[in-house]
Amino acid sequence: MVKQIPEIENFKYLLRRYPSSPLGPKIRKIRGSHLYTDSGEKLIDFTAGYSACMAVGGSNRSVKSAIKSQMRAYSFVSALAFSNCKAAELAELLVRNAPAGLDRVMFPGCSGSEAIEAAMRMSYQVRVEQGQVGRSLFITRSNAYHGITAMALSLTSTPVYNFFRPLQAKNVVFVPQHNYFEKAELSESENEYAARSARELEEAIIATGPEKVTAFVAETMLGQLQGNVTPSGNYWFLVREICDRYGIHLILDEVYCGLGRSGKVYCCEWDGITPDFVAQGKQLSAGYGPISAVVTKSEFEEVIKAGQNRIFFASTYEAHPLAVVAAIEVQKIVQSDEMLEHVNLGNTLMKSQLTEALGNHAFFRNVRGRGMLVSLEYDCLERDLFNQDLERSMRDKHSVLLSANYHRTNFTPPSTTSLRDIERVITQYVETFLKYSLKYRPRDPVRP
């Protein structure tokens, strides 16, 4: 007879990312924006699955039905050996509302990291096919995060990853982060700052040598690490001009902010530009299956076909059939006019409520973000303790999960979250903020 091991004991065999951290709650089921735990709690999730990926919430009927239907046919065939009509259907969905000129889709693997890696490799392969082997450098922005695979991680200068430096590629040049809230000079307008930030990129290109650079890689808007920082003024228009001037590819990372989460299908639609490659991940299947995509141009396909006639990137589970059918149903939902309108209404509601209630508070700095990706920035002495009070009280008193870290609280609920729930949670958050702020002092005696 097999000895039964108590369930909690099994966790000692699991090597967790944070081995010393306490175990999180066990989830029994998810319905929309609500999580139900084994202990009987009902929590509303304003993190959309911790990493803001669950755009349509949990247990969506149409998505689950599609997965079950596909499972009855077959669970897996290799995308390298067989044709999958559903993958072609998903590609058409991603191209349909893409910026003009983006008309090819590759599904490189299971994560956004792989999408970034594949876009970087394709950019360089196009150079090789064109006889420009010397264009092997990438330019990116400091203190960003683009993934955990080798080439993707080489794009980050976040100090916590510094111990990996000896293992990382050395073909990366960093320019300052584009963050008006942190980097703008006193009395500098958004367009003035955008122009200066774009000049920093151009100066780096010239100093490096344009003939050595293959691509500039950046998030369309900064994600959770910096707190949903939107691009300033005409920044991306200027960057696109600079990349065109020097023949440099523009790779946009929309793993976090793409596919409806910003209030438009592609976040770069807000900025009126067409990149050369767009990496998509989290929002593609919204947590119902591991899948990622690179959306790019047919002109690059033609270059590769005329050369080695193969893309040098492959993954066993690329375009996994179960993830593909889940992604199709998710994209039908998140790309609809009704959902995009709802996402933008949610953005207006969150920003207006937070600004009206806290705009004159001594800790307040700004509210920013697009769509259902919003952050409140604040500052005070002992800010980490203040964040802990906010998170703990919202969880324990109001049954709300949210992320309060560093200089901000992120509000990233599923796109399907009702306006009523959004209004209620923000009201509860404001009450909590005002209550616990009495324990702490502003960092500066006089608020700027």
Segments of the chain assigned to CATH 3.90.1150.10 = 7-59+337-437
Q: How much is the pTM?
A: 0.95
Helix (H/G/I), strand (E/B), else coil: 231: coil
Alpha-carbon distance of 38 to 165, in angstroms, equals: 42
Q: What percentage of the chain has pLDDT greater than the value 90?
A: 90
Q: What is the pLDDT of residues 27-82, one digit of tens each?
A: 999 999 999 999 999 999 999 999 999 999 999 999 999 999 999 999 999 999 99
Mean of the pLDDT values across residues 5-26? 83
Q: What is the pLDDT of residue 445?
A: 55
Question: Can you say how many angstroms the Cα of residue 214 is from the centroid of all Cα atoms in its chain?
Answer: 23
Q: What percentage of the chain has pLDDT greater than the value 70?
A: 97
Model confidence at 4: pLDDT above 70: no
Segments of the chain assigned to CATH 3.40.640.10 = 74-334
| Residue 2: pLDDT band with limits 50, 70, 90 | very low
Please, which contacts does 151-154 make with residues 24 or more away whose CB atoms are closer than 8 Å? Answer: 151/116, 151/117, 151/120, 151/121, 152/113, 152/116, 152/117, 152/120, 153/113
Model confidence at 448: pLDDT above 90: no
The mean-pLDDT minimum among 21-30, 128-137, 228-237 falls in 21-30
What average pLDDT is seen over the chain? 95
| Residue 159: pLDDT band with limits 50, 70, 90 | confident
| Residue 9: pLDDT band with limits 50, 70, 90 | confident
Q: DSSP alpha helices (H): ranges in 291-418?
A: 298-306, 321-334, 337-358, 383-398
Q: In what order do the strands lie in the sheet with 137-141?
A: 104-106, 293-296, 277-280, 249-253, 213-219, 137-141, 172-175
| Residue 1: pLDDT band with limits 50, 70, 90 | very low
CATH domain 7-59+337-437 topology: Aspartate Aminotransferase, domain 1 (3.90.1150)
Alpha-carbon distance of 396 to 49, in angstroms, equals: 18
Specify the residue for token string 């081995």.
Answer: 19
| Residue 228: pLDDT band with limits 50, 70, 90 | very high
Q: What is the pLDDT of residues 336-385, one digit of tens each?
A: 999 999 999 999 999 999 999 999 999 999 999 999 999 999 999 999 99
Q: What is the pLDDT of residues 311-343, one digit of tens each?
A: 999 899 999 999 999 999 999 999 999 999 999
Mean of the pLDDT values across residues 260-282? 98
Alpha-carbon distance of 79 to 82, in angstroms, equals: 5
Q: What is the pLDDT of residue 165?
A: 85
| Residue 7: pLDDT band with limits 50, 70, 90 | low
Model confidence at 92: pLDDT above 90: yes
Q: What is the pLDDT of residue 446?
A: 46
Mean of the pLDDT values across residues 73-101? 96
> Which CATH code of 3.30.450.40, 3.20.20.10, 3.30.1360.120, 3.40.640.10 fits the domain covering 74-334?
3.40.640.10
